[in-house]
Amino acid sequence: MSSFVPQIALILTGTFLFSCSDDPQTDPSAENTDHLSGGETTIFDATSHAFSLPAPNLSAASLSRHIDGDAAFGQHFVTAPAEVFGGLGPLYNNTSCQNCHVRDGRGKAPAPGEQLTSLLLRASVAGSSDHGGPVGAPGFGGQIQPKATAGIQPETEIQVSYELISGSYPDGTGWQLRKPVFTLVNSYTGIPAGMMLSPRLSPPVFGLGLLEAVPSSEIIGRSDPDDLNQDGISGRPNYVWDVISQSVQLGRFGWKANTPNLLQQTANAFQEDMGITSPFFPKENSYGQPQDSKLDDDPEITGDYADLTAFYVRTLAVPAQRNPGDPQVVKGKDLFNSAGCKSCHTPQLKTGLHPVVSELSNQTIHPYTDLLLHDMGEDLADGRPDYLATGSEWRTPPLWGIGLTEVVTGTPYYLHDGRARSLEEAILWHGGEAEKSKENFKKLSKVERDQLLTFLKSL
């Protein structure tokens, strides 16, 4: 928000000793604590570090473990055998957590012809695995790794191009959206018939410990799989395989809620994204493929190292909403609610007891997600089922911190494959259960649309 009447503000400041600041701590307009997006884990920072700070309520012991975890999250791995931090690959997508989750934020969609840096493709063929998950594509597994250590043949190259799609608002304002098309070229082996691919952009990683602490009952309680209330919105829980407890659990993480907890998410990323094996995923992602290394060095990290990394993610702070009392923001919030966005982007949740990090327990949080799957229509569909998620269902992504995307990671990219270059584009891609809300948005005046976007940018 710019100051368009600075003189008046200054005069009033002098008179009332009043700071018209963007620091919600002292923002008098905050009648409630809705701006405390992460409850007691909230920080007041609108800089490029906004997603990278430890929760302020951590105990000394937790902070110490967070700092160790920070180093693990940033660590580059190299080809084994190595003096330090060996185990990369032989097949991989990237060499460190941080390389994809730059500044703990969103990934970048590749420009046409550019290599993928923080976007990956999941792969499968028809059917379901022993535990109900997708069946990895023969020769490629569950994820495409376009990179390999020296002397090893990568699985394939991934090329991206974009289709442009034009449209306009009822008021005549035009837009142009872009939809990515991924093509595999120079693959080391034949592409299996019927192989399904799903692009996934690296999501921001802060606040996830809080989402882990939301009781399953609270999430399931919001579901309406058969749309009994006939609001056009179902909301379905995903149930997925927990490799750690060896049981079926509610899915929470990933673009299709295909992962039950952060330790599994982290250990799986080590294995699939970096080729780093752990006790939880002891086989290389190239297992059974000719690229598999002949080294007997698995697991390449300890369970504690994976846990340490997960601990870091769990204990990152959530940035507070900025300017919650700004009239434009207030109006935008009303429009967000009345357009029906909040039906899925649930403004408020409460955490229960976190099993590992007590600082995350019993927090009132404002993530703007229900953690449920919703049919988002054909235009966004990847056509690849993932446990109970259909090819057109996606888990509602959280919106907290979304307005800081640009300051944290530069050019912003939104949605599962980063196709949207602005929040406005992201809204315009909504379909399926969100079709009605999108139509509501389109019918707004330009001023109102801007207010709604201003609200989103305040998050």
Partner 1 sequence: MKTYLFFGFLILTAIAGTGCSDSATDPEDTAPADATQVLTDLATGIITPTYQDLDARAGDLLQAVTVLKNLPDEANLLTAQQAWKAARKPWEQAEGFLFGPVDTKGIDPAIDSWPLNKQDLESVLAQTEPLTKDRIDGLENTLKGFHTIEYLLFGDNADKKASGFTPRELEYLIAAAQSLKGETEKLFASWHPSGENFQNHLMKAGSPESIYSSQKSALQEITNGIIVIADEVANGKINDPFSQSDILLEESRFSDNSKTDFQDNIRSIRNLYLGQYNSFSGTGLSQVISTKNPTLDSRIRTEIADAIEAIGAIPGTFSEAIFSNRPSVESAQIKVRKIQQTFEEDVMPLILK
Q: Is 1 in the site for partner 1 (CB under 8 A)?
A: yes
Joined together, the tokens standing for residue 231 give 């609001």
CA distances from 65 to 59, 62, 210, 304, 357 (A): 10, 5, 17, 11, 11
> What would the DSSP string read from start to end of 190-211?
PPPTT-EEEEEEPPP-TTHHHH
Joined together, the tokens standing for residue 153 give 């043949």
The amino acid at 14 = G
H/E element holding 218? helix 216-221
Q: Give dist(CA 342, CA 346) in Å, integer.
A: 5
DSSP 335: H
Residue with tokens 């700070």: 53
Q: Which residue(s) pair with 177 in the sheet? A: 165
Among 47, 128, 189, 245, interactor with partner 1 by CB under 8 A: 47
CB of 322 to partner 1, least distance (A): 6
Among 192, 325, 352, 377, interactor with partner 1 by CB under 8 A: 325
CB of 224 to partner 1, least distance (A): 37
CA distances from 286 to 136, 137, 153, 302 (A): 12, 12, 11, 20
Give the pairing of strands 42-43 and 318-319.
parallel
Report how far apart the first and last C-alpha atoms of the chain are (Å, whole number). 13
Q: Give dist(CA 232, CA 66) in Å, integer.
A: 42
Among 326, 375, 386, 425, interactor with partner 1 by CB under 8 A: 326
Contact by Cβ (8 Å): 1, 326: yes
What angle in degrees, to the nearest 10, is found between the helix axes of 303-314 and 262-274? 120
CB of 27 to partner 1, least distance (A): 8
The amino acid at 413 = Y
53 versus 339: smaller Cβ distance to partner 1 = 53
Q: Is 446 in the site for partner 1 (CB under 8 A)?
A: no
Among 2, 166, 230, 246, interactor with partner 1 by CB under 8 A: 2
**What residues from 404 to 433 belong to the interface with partner 1 (CB under 8 A)?**
406-407, 409-411
Among 33, 99, 364, 390, interactor with partner 1 by CB under 8 A: 99
Segment interacting with partner 1 (CB under 8 A) among 166-174, 323-331, 425-433, 439-447: 323-331
CB of 344 to partner 1, least distance (A): 27
Q: Give dist(CA 299, CA 87) in Å, integer.
A: 9
DSSP 86: B
Q: Is 111 in the site for partner 1 (CB under 8 A)?
A: no
CB of 314 to partner 1, least distance (A): 20
Q: Is 76 in the site for partner 1 (CB under 8 A)?
A: yes
44 versus 281: smaller Cβ distance to partner 1 = 44
18 versus 288: smaller Cβ distance to partner 1 = 18
CB of 367 to partner 1, least distance (A): 21
Kindly write out the interface string for residues 121-160 of this chain, putting x where it contacts partner 1 by CB under 8 A and - elsewhere.
--------------------------x-xxx---------
Q: Is 23 in the site for partner 1 (CB under 8 A)?
A: yes
Contact by Cβ (8 Å): 420, 108: no
The count of chain residues that interact with partner 1, using the rule CB under 8 A, is 64
Segment interacting with partner 1 (CB under 8 A) among 18-26, 181-189, 206-214, 239-247: 18-26
CB of 5 to partner 1, least distance (A): 5
Q: Give dist(CA 357, CA 459) in Å, integer.
A: 25
CB of 450 to partner 1, least distance (A): 12
Among 13, 59, 176, 217, interactor with partner 1 by CB under 8 A: 13
Q: Is 449 in the site for partner 1 (CB under 8 A)?
A: no
Q: Give dist(CA 406, CA 103) in Å, integer.
A: 12
150 versus 193: smaller Cβ distance to partner 1 = 150
E-strand ranges in 231-314 read: 239-242, 247-250
63 versus 165: smaller Cβ distance to partner 1 = 63
Phi, psi of 135 (to 5 degrees): -95, 120
DSSP 188: S
26 versus 247: smaller Cβ distance to partner 1 = 26
The amino acid at 351 = T
Q: Is 67 in the site for partner 1 (CB under 8 A)?
A: yes
Contact by Cβ (8 Å): 57, 41: yes
Among 9, 126, 181, 353, interactor with partner 1 by CB under 8 A: 9
Among 37, 62, 95, 369, interactor with partner 1 by CB under 8 A: 95
Q: Which residues bind partner 1 (CB under 8 A)?
A: 1-6, 8-10, 12-14, 16-23, 26-29, 44-49, 67, 71, 76, 78-86, 88, 95, 99, 102-103, 117, 147, 149-151, 322-323, 325-329, 406-407, 409-411
